[in-house]
Structure 1
C-alpha cells in the first residue's frame, strides 16, 4: 500500500500540472479563435462581450471536459495493470 502511495502522489502532482497547463493553453487557443472570428467576419459591437460569451460556451463544452482524460487515462491504466497482475 505504501508503494502504491509513493507512486500515486507524485503522479497526481504531475497530472495536475499537466491538466492546468493544457487547460490554460486550450482556453487561450479558444480565445484567439474567437478574436480571429470576430475580425474575419467584421462584426460590430462589444468584442469582449462576444469573447466572454464564447468562452462561457467553451466552459460548458465536451471538449473542455475531455481534458479530464489527463487524469482518467493514466489512473485507469494503472488500475487495470494492478488488477491484471494481482488477479489473473
Structure 2
C-alpha cells in the first residue's frame, strides 16, 4: 500500500508539471493568435491592442479548450482505476 501511495504521489507531481506546461503553451498560442489577429486587422470597437488581448484572454479562460486541459489529470487516473479494477476482478 505504501508503494502505491508513493507511486501515486510522484504521478500526481508529474501530471501537475505536464498540466502546467500544457497550460502555459496553450495560453501562449492563444495570445499569439490574438496578437496576429490584431496586427492583421484591428477591430474598430477595441480601444487598444492590450485591451483587446486582455479581453480575448479572459474569454479564453472560460472556453472549452482551456477546460479540456484538465483531462491531463482525469484520463490517466481513469485508466489506472480501470486497470486496477480489471486486475482485481479476476
Q: Same fold (TM over 0.5)?
A: yes
Deviating above 4 A after TM superposition, structure 1's stretches of 4 or more consecutive aligned residues are none
For residues 24-73 of structure 1, the C-alpha deviation after alignment (integer angstroms, 9 at most, x for no partner) is 11001100000000011144631000000000000000000000010011
Equivalenced residues, count: 88
> Residues 42 and 53 from structure 1, CA distance in 2 versus in 1: closer, same or farther, beyond 3 angstroms?
closer
Q: Give the TM-score normalised by the residue count of structure 2.
A: 0.92
Length-normalised TM-score, structure 1: 0.94
Counterpart in the other structure of 1:50? 52
Unaligned runs of 5+ in 1: none
Q: In 2, Cα distance between the equivalents of 1:83 and 1:77?
A: 10
- RMSD of aligned Cα (Å): 1.1
SS at match of 1:51: helix
- For the pair 1:30 / 2:30, whether they are aligned, the reply is yes
Structure 2: runs of 5+ lacking an equivalent? none
